A and B are shown apart, each in its own frame.
Chain A
Amino acid sequence: MIISRRDYLKFEILHFKWKASSLSTLEKLTIYMGVNMKKPVIVYKDYGFQYKEQGNPTLYNIDLTIYEGEKILIVGPSGSGKSTLGNCLNGLIPFSYKGEITGTLTMDGKEVKNESIFELSKIVGTVLQDPDGQFIGLTVGEDIAFSLENECMSTVEMHQFTQESAELVGINDHLDAPPHALSGGQKQRVSLAGVIVDKVKILLFDEPLANLDPYTGKRAISLIDKIQKDTNTTVIIIEHRLEDVLFREVDRIVLMSEGRIIADMEPNQLLCLNDLREQGIREPLYLSALKYAGVDLSPKKQPAYIDKLSITKEDKGKVKQWFLESAATHPKQEEKKLLEVKNLTFSYEKGKTVLEDVSFDVRKGELLAIVGTNGAGKSTLSKVICGFETADKGEVFFDGKNIEQDTITERAKHIGYVMQNPNQMISKTMIFDEVALGLQNSNLDEVKVRERVEETLKICGLYPFRNWPISALSFGQKKRVTIASILVLQPEIIILDEPTAGQDFRHYTEIMEFLEQLNKQRITVLMITHDMHLMLEYALRALVFSKKRLIADKSAAEILTDPRLTQQASLKETSLYSLAQVCNIEKGTEFVQRFIDYDREVRLSE
């Protein structure tokens, strides 16, 4: 019999209570395990699935047992089948997505393929990735009550149940609020309340962190943890932001690759191995640092959780040594100012300012991150710069010239803007046409247009696909098409809204390395992002926004090691900083900077 750490802890508590009784420890343990014997709730046996429209199966020979009350994290690169695995549970497969199932999957003792999606929804509650898209009701209350309405519950009872669930997730003060009045984190709370209102046994989260800022993501993970403990549900989280999920303990991590499970073990065990890295999953940064420093990891040292990490004195010495040995890089010399924003104030409605007195410079050839709370005005800022919106006060200078009077199209010649969702930009069916679209209204002749489009396609690595339909591309490739369609206009600055949102590590790296390449060709890049890793790794400088104002303009390492600042802007202190503290390294900021430089070199040599 395997006794998990958690069970043992529970047992210890009971043991303490039973102290007065005359039973021996072993007897107590036997009784305890008899009562608390883990009951399997989900059993995949030699399970496989193939989508109707695909040539190969997406899942092969899955054998996986999940026990009652467990908290499981499923990780894997895009296309590894992790979402499919989840959709098999909640009934979207085969109800919405048709295909062929092999093997068996039982849930709560029932064979899943014989149940309807409605029966399954009573057992599994699913929280989808996009909290905005799954908001069905017109107000919070209605949305939470949606499944109760479908169950024909009486209105009185329904209000009571809704109130209870809303209290559990802490959204009970907003029952009458419409979706657009809520933040991303609040919307996700509503989605969660909407499934726990059903008293489900299993909660399934499909990439719950994708649309949240770092701080809100942290709160979401704590909330999931709390709900699980309060209601004793089984929790399955599908997510590739590993470090963020490990903010709270999980029982097991299931690693998937190409439709197969390649690891299924305790987090502390898995994180000692190199499997995650090999599969293109980003391991927590402090672990990379420990590995660079040559520290031997073992499950005993609890490497999965930074706050529980227990490394030896010798290990700490190794980290310190590594820090002292790796050389500091020299700061770049200053270039001329390309974009200047001076005392910018903006409001959509009179009296409600979104940006207040914002001033900063961008120098030629910089790669800059813009970070901050959801709704702090980051996207608005880029809209004002591009001329979509007009500032109430203040000026924007480009190359020393005030561009106040320039139209969107005129500004677009110098400043390109790439939206977050490529589907919102693509308006042609063929790649070549899409990239050429922006040039058609210029005075260039056809030969010149062709030349320029082909050149851009080559830079973006899309030249071999130039005659392909866009629908055949992956999300990351589409993103690249949209970047190409802006680059073809030869802007000097390119602003990207969340360039890597929803991408797994491999695609993320692809996009970012591409942007770095562009940057080397002296194109100035501004990125609006929630991703702290991205900011640390790629941006030399970052602008931090909070509550309408620019509150910091510093290097990424300085920002993410300043607790006051990270809290104010809903960012997350980097775990590297915590590691520096564990190892008694006083110069935390410098430590982080060294790591970034070192890591970049390692990546480049790979």
Chain B
Amino acid sequence: MNKENGFGYIKRQSPIHALTGTTKLLMTFITSVAVMITYDTRFLFGVIILAGILFSVSKIQFSDIKAVIIFIAVIMIFNCIAIYLFSPEEGVRIYGTRHEILRISARYAITLEQLFYMLNVVLKYFSILPLALLFMTTTEPSEFASSLNRIGMSYKIAYSVALALRYIPDIQRDFHEIGQAQQARGIDMSKKVKLPQRMKNASAILLPLVFSSLSRIDVISNAMELRGFGKHKKRTWYRAKEFKGVDLAVIAICIGLFVVSLSLNYINGGRFYNPFV
């Protein structure tokens, strides 16, 4: 994550960056729904490949998002282990056949069906994740607020979200500085002190942090009112981009994906694609 703006935005010149924030938000949203309603492996693969292409177009490098991907991958590994531990026969139940590879104990066996089911779960996460990351890394935080507003969220709420993002780095800095000052008063938070004491000492940062944040809020809300925030029911956005043909095309494609996903449900006679019959 980019420390500078507390958000993932990475400034590059690319066709993806040029899309309006609203388009990207809708793209992420519609595709996520499309992915969520089906477990069709072919479809999920398709979406992943599509996301891969979009990523290469966006000029966002793998190294930019490596940390997040690794983090999610670790979570997925735990997730799969948990699924297997709690319902080792889920795949068999879903697909109705049983191809056993290895028996471990009376309760646990490894079946092709179970592996296939878990593969689908993983695919699902990894087809939504790139799109969400793409949205976050190619949308300026300020455009983020205007896109939330465009898809119907009240601008006051949308702006608060953007402001919160704007203040994250400031509050981080405050936290760091207050911590240093407290340590300089003999309140040791280093590893030389035992954990319970360290937790208690860390609480000495909280009160000043709350107070300094409250006074920040006071100043900013006065400043906003003085400049007419909340006067009208609507507002315009300095960063708003005009919808272009590309934007409409992208949204159309996403709706297309959604329709495909729906019809797959119908063709497969359920949410799962079954290669075992």
A contacts, CB < 8 Å to B: 90-92, 95-96, 117-118, 121-122, 126, 128, 130, 133-134, 136-139, 141-142, 145-155, 158-159, 162, 178, 180, 194-195, 198, 383, 386, 388, 407-409, 411-413, 416-417, 419, 421, 423-428, 437-439, 441-442, 485-486, 489
Given the known interface contacts A96-B225, A117-B225, A133-B223, the answer about A425 and B181 at a Cβ–Cβ threshold of 8 Å is: yes
**Distance between B248 CB and nearest chain A CB, rounded to angstroms:** 19
**How far apart are the CA atoms of A122 and B169 in the complex, in Å?**
32
Name the B residues within 8 Å of A136 (CB-CB): 163, 220, 223-224, 227
| Contact call A150/B235, Cβ cutoff below 8 A | yes
In the bound complex, how far is the Cα of B5 from the Cα of A180, in angstroms?
Answer: 9
- Partner among B180, B184, B207 whose Cβ is within 8 Å of the Cβ of A427: B207
**Chain A contacts for B224, CB-based, 8 A:** 136, 146
Contact A486 B185 (CB under 8 A): yes
Q: CB-CB < 8 A to B141: which residues of A?
A: 138
Most buried by A among B166, B201, B206, B238: B238
Q: Which of A122, A150, A159 has the most CB of B within 10 A?
A: A150
Smallest CB-CB separation from A147: which chain B residue?
B227
Q: Would you give the shortest CB distance from B41 to chain A, in whole angstroms?
A: 41
CB distance from A327 to the nearest CB of B (A): 42
Is there contact, CB below 8 Å, between B238 and A142? yes
A437 touches B223 (CB 8 A): no
In the assembled complex, the CB of A95 is this many whole angstroms from the nearest CB of chain B, namely 7
With A136-B163, A409-B190 as known contacts, state yes or no: A426 contacts B236, CB within 8 Å: no
Given the contacts A118-B228, A419-B177, A412 and B208 also touching, CB distance less than 8 Å: no
- Which residue in chain A gives the minimum CB-CB distance to B169? A180
Residue of B nearest to A489 (CB): B186
The verdict on A133 contacting B187 (CB below 8 Å), with A141-B238, A152-B232 known, is no
Closest B-chain residue to A422, C-beta based? B208
Number of B residues, CB within 8 Å of A: 55
Verify B162–A412 contact, CB threshold 8 A: no
Q: A145-B238, A423-B211 are in contact. Are A409 and B188 (CB under 8 A)?
A: yes
Judging by beta carbons under 8 Å apart, are B142 and A142 in contact? Answer: yes
- Fill in one digit per residue for B215-253: 1 if any A CB lies within 8 Å of its CB, else 0: 110011111111111111011111110100000000000
* Chain B residue at minimum C-beta to C-beta distance from A495: B184
Chain B residue at minimum C-beta to C-beta distance from A491:
B184
Residue of chain B at shortest CB distance from A142:
B238
Asked if B5 and A195 sit within 8 Å, CB to CB, the answer is no
Docked pose: A212 CA to B174 CA in angstroms: 20
Complex alpha-carbon distance, A394 and B167, angstroms: 35
Given contacts A180-B169, A198-B227, A423-B212, 4 further A-B contacts (CB under 8 A): A136-B163, A150-B235, A152-B234, A441-B201
Would you call the interface of chain B mostly helix, strand, loop, or mixed?
helix
Please state if B238 and A427 are interface contacts (CB–CB under 8 Å): no
**CB pair A117 B226 closer than 8 Å:** yes
A126–B238 touching, CB < 8 Å: no
Residues of A within 8 A of B163 (CB): 136
Q: Which of B180, B187, B215, B240 contacts A155 (CB 8 A)?
A: B240
B229's nearest neighbour on chain A, judged by CB, is A150
User: Closest CB of chain A to B192's CB: distance in Å?
Assistant: 7
For residue B223, which residues in chain A have a CB less than 8 angstroms away from its CB?
Answer: 128, 133-134, 136
CB of B178 within 8 A of chain A? yes
Residues of the B chain whose Cβ atoms lie less than 8 Å from the Cβ of A128 = 219, 222-223, 226
State whether A149 and B177 are in contact (beta carbons under 8 Å apart), knowing that A121-B228, A138-B5 are contacts in the complex.
Answer: no
* Cross-chain contact of B180 among A118, A383, A485 (Cβ < 8 A): A383
Chain B residue with the shortest CB-CB distance to A175? B238
Known pairs A426-B211, A438-B186, A485-B185; A147 contacts B238 (CB<8 A): no
For A419, list chain B residues within 8 Å (CB).
Answer: 177, 181
Bound form: Cα–Cα A489–B187 in Å: 11
The verdict on B204 contacting chain A, using a C-beta distance below 8 Å, is yes
Does chain A have a CB within 8 A of B274? no
B229 CB contacts on chain A under 8 angstroms: 146, 150
Q: Is there an interface contact between A96 and B222, defined as CB atoms closer than 8 Å?
A: yes
- A195 cross-chain contacts in B, Cβ below 8 A: 227
The reply to whether A424 and B185 form a contact with Cβ atoms under 8 Å apart is no
* CB-CB nearest in chain B for A154: B236
A149 and B235 within 8 A (CB): yes
> Which residue of B4, B184, B231 is within 8 Å of A180 (Cβ)?
B4
Q: B184, A386: Cβ atoms under 8 Å?
A: yes
Q: Say yes or no for B265: interface residue by CB 8 A criterion.
A: no
Picked from A130, A178, A180, A417, the residue with its CB within 8 Å of the CB of B219 is A130
Distance to closest chain B CB from A211 (angstroms): 12
CA distance A426 to B185 in the complex (A): 11
> Are A408 and B162 neighbours in the complex by a CB distance under 8 Å?
no
Which of B5, B185, B205, B219 meets A437, CB within 8 Å?
A: B185
Chain A CB within 8 A of B113 CB? no
| Set of chain B residues within 8 Å of A485, measured between Cβ atoms | 185
A155–B235 alpha-carbon span in the complex (Å): 11
